Amino acid sequence: MIHSDCIPSHCSQVVVLGSTGSIGLNTLDVISQHPDRFSVFALTANTSIELLAQQCLKFLPRYVVVGNGFSAMALQQILNDNHCKTDVLHGIQSLQDVAEHADVDIVVAAIVGAAGLLPTMAAVQTGKRVLLANKESLVMAGRLFMDAVIRSKAQLIPIDSEHNAIFQCLSEQFVDGESGTQVRKILLTGSGGPFRTWSVKDIRRANPEEACNHPNWSMGRKISVDSASLMNKGLEFIEAKWLFDVEPSKIDVVIHPQSIIHSMVEYIDGSVIAQLGNPDMRIPIAYGLTYPDRITAGVPSLDVIAVGQLNFEAPDMMRFPGLRLAMEAADAGTGAAATLNAANEVAVEAFLAQRISFGQVTDILQQIMNTAHWDEPMDLESVVNLDGIVRSMTREAISALD
């Protein structure tokens, strides 16, 4: 059972959902630089027990949550051996419990994929400051998620580099929901990934190692594959629609290989405001932790002279059909977006296991989008049910290829 302890009032209490992933690691790095401002209330991971144990010994959280009982026993033994008093919990309900705990101020939602939806929603529904890196929460739940933010008066701050850049470029009035008519375009940038200059033929036969070799960012394998296919940019496109309450027609994707401009906003007077910085996730994370203030994040200054030039390209939908599918899903509604996300997670997992080729990932997504039937989900239960149905359909489609 979750319980409260006495906690110094001057520190913001932080839960890091997904602490062993790249976002989680960078969050803890920023927190470690400001021990007077932040204290770790809970850490969570699925099965990365050894790294999670190291984090517990360093940050001494009140709770740590893992995916299952076996992992919990293994972690508890390590912590006991090191005289660490962190309580070990497991399962989805425990994730939700720590996310909504009354003593928590900030929840960093960094669990990859659909698994992050329920604990992120729990944090939102209890009015936390939520630093959102789990884009799937908005892709899957869309209006349900944003309605919960409004009802609970949660503070939702995106920490994906692109959405955080847009957040920084928007006027304060827009963030407060009062000046959307002043924005002409949101320009969502992306590096183009490792296959930006590859031919269709070479892209289709790429292997997992090549797909995970991102030129600018260090990320987990699933997100790296999505970045290689530009599906990650497609999911971000859907996320931007909901985060900033704009129609898809007001969002443009721009390929920017240097990853120095993280996104831009064009206003109706012709002004274009951009956020620039080194490609380092600690920048948006630090901004989210202390918004509207800023703190040091350990990131070196941007040397614009050394950068030399900034290039921009239109995305090639022929070579990257996943982006096209995501844009179509954004227009079709939340049911379509949730379907695409579920199918993509299963297909990427199969690709990483070398059951299907890289080209077959988007082939399968197109097949599922052509054959699946969905209604707009009216509640979270409907979202979860649709997710499960689509995952089963996608596994069957993959099995048919074996």
Domains and CATH numbers, the chain: 12-158 (3.40.50.720), 179-276+306-399 (1.10.1740.10)
Residue 160, annotated as binding a ligand: yes
How would residue 5 be classed by pLDDT, with cut points 50, 70 and 90? very low
- Burial class (CB within 10 angstroms; exposed 0-12, middle 13-18, buried 19+) of 224: buried
Q: Is the pLDDT of residue 8 over 50?
A: no
Residue 214, annotated as binding a ligand: yes
Residue 186, annotated as binding a ligand: no
What does DSSP say about strands 155-158 and 183-190: parallel, antiparallel, or unpaired? Answer: unpaired
The residue among 182, 184, 188 whose CA lies nearest residue 167 is 188
Note the maximum CA span of the chain: 63
Residue 26, annotated as binding a ligand: no
Residue 172, annotated as binding a ligand: no
Residue 180, annotated as binding a ligand: no
Residue 23, annotated as binding a ligand: yes
Residue 185, annotated as binding a ligand: no
Residue 161, annotated as binding a ligand: yes
Residue 232, annotated as binding a ligand: yes
Residue 22, annotated as binding a ligand: yes
Residue 20, annotated as binding a ligand: yes
Q: Is the pLDDT of residue 348 over 70?
A: yes
Average of per-residue pLDDT values in the chain: 93
- The larger pLDDT score, comparing residue 181 to residue 51, is at 51
Residue 21, annotated as binding a ligand: yes
Main-chain dihedrals φ then ψ at residue 219, nearest 5 degrees: -140, 170
pTM here is 0.92
Calculate mean pLDDT across residues 331-354.
96
How would residue 3 be classed by pLDDT, with cut points 50, 70 and 90? very low
% the chain with pLDDT above 90:
88
